[in-house]
Amino acid sequence: MAQNAVLMTVTGSDHPGVTGALFAVLGAHRVDVLDVEQVVVRGQLTLGVLVSVDGSGVRLQEDVQAAMAAVDMAVTVRLDVGVDEPRSAGTHVLVVMGRPLQATAVALLAGRLGELGVNIETIKRVADYPVTGLELLVSAAGDELLRQAVAEVGAAAGVDIAVQRAGIARRSKRLIVFDVDSTLITGEVIEILADHTGRRAEVERITEAAMRGELDFAQSLHRRVAMLAGLDAAVLDEVGRSLELTPGARTTIRTLKRLGYRCGIVSGGFTQVARHLVDDLSLDFVAANTLEVEGGRLTGRVVGDVVDRQGKARALARFALESGVPMNQTVAVGDGANDIDMLTAAGLGIAFNAKPIVAEFADTTLNQPFLDPVLFILGITRAEVEAADAADGTLRRVPIG
């Protein structure tokens, strides 16, 4: 007898017993299950089941309709589905994030994907806080046009859209490093230190030029550090204790460490300040510049090699080697021109509220004032984060203005 495929789609208010009632009928007919998909949105169930049957499937259709009517569910049954039509595995994952995420942004993205012949296989919500995040699994012919289109849509709609290749590589990352200034923390440490010397405005001008890539980082660092000469070294600890983490930083690192990630910082800032972050966040690695101190005061010089653009990439590679992690399983997050080499060397480079020159070199960009979306890009949902936090008593949501 010929094998035929039957597709059943059950919809209605979700309640216990629906799936059991359907599969009881399927079991009685001794069908083979080919595919199942179930989703519940705000209490409304959609359950799709594809089965292979001997014969036409008409008797099965009648029994399924009766069983679903008995549990107050609607069902549609298609008897003409091809058995040999495999479900697409998808080629890319898009994570769309906004605060708020408006329907017009999704419409613009879906329309552009359709123009490119990119099919959307699945959509699911991955976050409702501090951003709304949707994860789309899509099938595309290649990378370049997809990434270009996504970048254009993101800019036009004012949302962040991360693009990654689908597959196990996305979920195999094991090590992450963060830049410190304006990434892991708000503000720039050297500018905070310059407040104590009255030369903050001068330091800010040099910092901005260096971040835009207009000045060599090492030269800019030496010029700025020279302005700190004579500062009481005790100020370093004072500043270190007062650092303000970027919203979501603590949650992000806590979650990644639960998953076994090695977490570190690679900074053009200063070890005497960064060590406070290492202790506070239980980080595994730190690379930063060391300020020279003589007689309890800063000399206006740094000790040893400068952790500049190239130095950051070398530090990431050293951390990965020490941890036994291949470079394609590393993640780097940064915002300035001196982060470019680190971002391109990592398996996944994320530009965080970065200057345009930096975003061009990153795999994806985040333009939200929170670090939590790093988790969503890595395939970790807000529900999973909060379930883990609830289990150890750390769950809390800070109101967002």
Residues with a catalytic annotation lie at: 179, 181
Six token digits for residue 182: 């304006």
Closest CA to 166 of 268, 94, 60: 94
Six token digits for residue 254: 């806590």
CB atoms within 10 A of CB 131: 25
* Residues 137, 242: Cα–Cα separation, whole Å: 42
Closest CA to 329 of 96, 172, 207, 212: 172
Q: How far is CA 39 from CA 14, 45, 106, 252, 390, in A?
A: 10, 6, 19, 27, 24
* Residues 239, 217: Cα–Cα separation, whole Å: 22
* Residues 41, 343: Cα–Cα separation, whole Å: 37
Longest dimension (CA), the chain: 93
Contact predicate 308/221, CB 8 Å: yes
Contact predicate 154/160, CB 8 Å: yes
Calculate the CA dihedral of residues 137, 253, 102, 171 and round it to 10 degrees.
0
* Residues 361, 366: Cα–Cα separation, whole Å: 13
- Give every CB contact of residue 317 below 8 A, 6+ residues apart in sequence: 327, 345
Calculate the CA dihedral of residues 291, 178, 336, 245 and round it to 10 degrees.
-80
